[in-house]
């Protein structure tokens, strides 16, 4: 089995730029790709929604409970996103392994890197490195504990057409 890039993303990542770059890099370096979808905080939010709906249902507020569950069902977008990623990898002719983790990014990364010894580079999507998903302290901690390259992808202003890549 060959080496793989690990692309770390989140369900909130609506941009296709990170995945496109990861697929391009996997193709030109003749690697497979592994995708780690970290849904930090989503799991607990879903649980809270479910418990809130149960409370309303027990109080005979069935319509309110249905509405809460309906809104929570939009979380199925994560499953759709995973399918889209799998499809794009398949279209590119690149072997893909897709993982999900309901925990913080550093713990999820460490756990997966221990499990999958074929990963030799990590690419962090723009959504992962922004919006507080991964702090600078977390990134520094990762750099001390992970012995493979970690690349952070960033978004540029719309006035620039090239993608920016920072190598950590």
Tell which residue, 154, 153, 120, has the closest CA to residue 30.
120
Q: Is residue 135 assigned to a domain?
A: yes
pTM tops 0.75, yes or no? no
pLDDT for the residue 141: 83
Q: How many CA atoms lie within 13 A of 114 on its CB side?
A: 7
Q: Is residue 116 assigned to a domain?
A: yes
Q: Is residue 137 assigned to a domain?
A: yes
Residue carrying the six token digits 């193709």: 27
pLDDT for the residue 119: 94
pLDDT for the residue 126: 83
pLDDT for the residue 29: 92
Consecutive 10-residue runs of the chain (168 residues): their mean pLDDT?
Answer: 85 76 92 84 64 83 80 63 84 87 81 91 85 78 86 70 53
Q: Is residue 28 assigned to a domain?
A: yes
Q: How many domains does the chain have?
A: 1
Domain containing residue 93:
4-41+79-167
Q: Is residue 25 assigned to a domain?
A: yes
pLDDT for the residue 25: 92
Q: DSSP letters along the chain, please? A: ---EEEEEE-TT---SHHHHHHHHHHHHTT-EEEEEEE-TTHHHHHHHHHHHHHHHHHTT-HHHHHHHHHHHHGGGHHHHHHHHHHHHHHHHT--EEEEEESS-HHHHHHHHHHH-TTEEEEEE-HHHHSTTSS-HHHHHHHHHH--S-EEEEEPPPTT--S-EEEE-
pLDDT for the residue 168: 54
CATH of the domain at 119: 3.40.50.620
Q: Is residue 87 assigned to a domain?
A: yes
Dihedral of CA 46/48/49/51: which sign? positive
């Amino acid at each position: 089995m060959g080496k793989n890039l690990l692309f770390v993303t989140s369900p909130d990542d609506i941009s296709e730029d990170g995945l496109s770059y990861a697929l391009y890099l996997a193709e030109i370096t003749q690697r497979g790709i592994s995708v780690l979808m970290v849904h930090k905080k989503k799991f607990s939010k879903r649980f809270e929604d479910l418990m809130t709906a149960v409370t309303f249902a027990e109080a005979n507020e069935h319509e309110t409970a249905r509405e809460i569950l309906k809104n929570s069902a939009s979380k199925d977008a994560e499953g759709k996103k995973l399918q889209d990623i799998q499809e794009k990898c398949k279209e590119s002719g690149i072997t893909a392994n897709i993982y999900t983790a309901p925990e913080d990014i550093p713990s999820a990364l460490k756990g997966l890197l221990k499990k999958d010894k074929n990963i030799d580079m990590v690419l962090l999507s723009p959504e992962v490195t922004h919006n507080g998903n991964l702090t600078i302290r977390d990134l520094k901690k990762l750099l001390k504990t992970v012995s493979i390259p970690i690349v952070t992808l960033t978004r540029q202003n719309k006035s620039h057409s090239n993608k920016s890549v920072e190598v950590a």
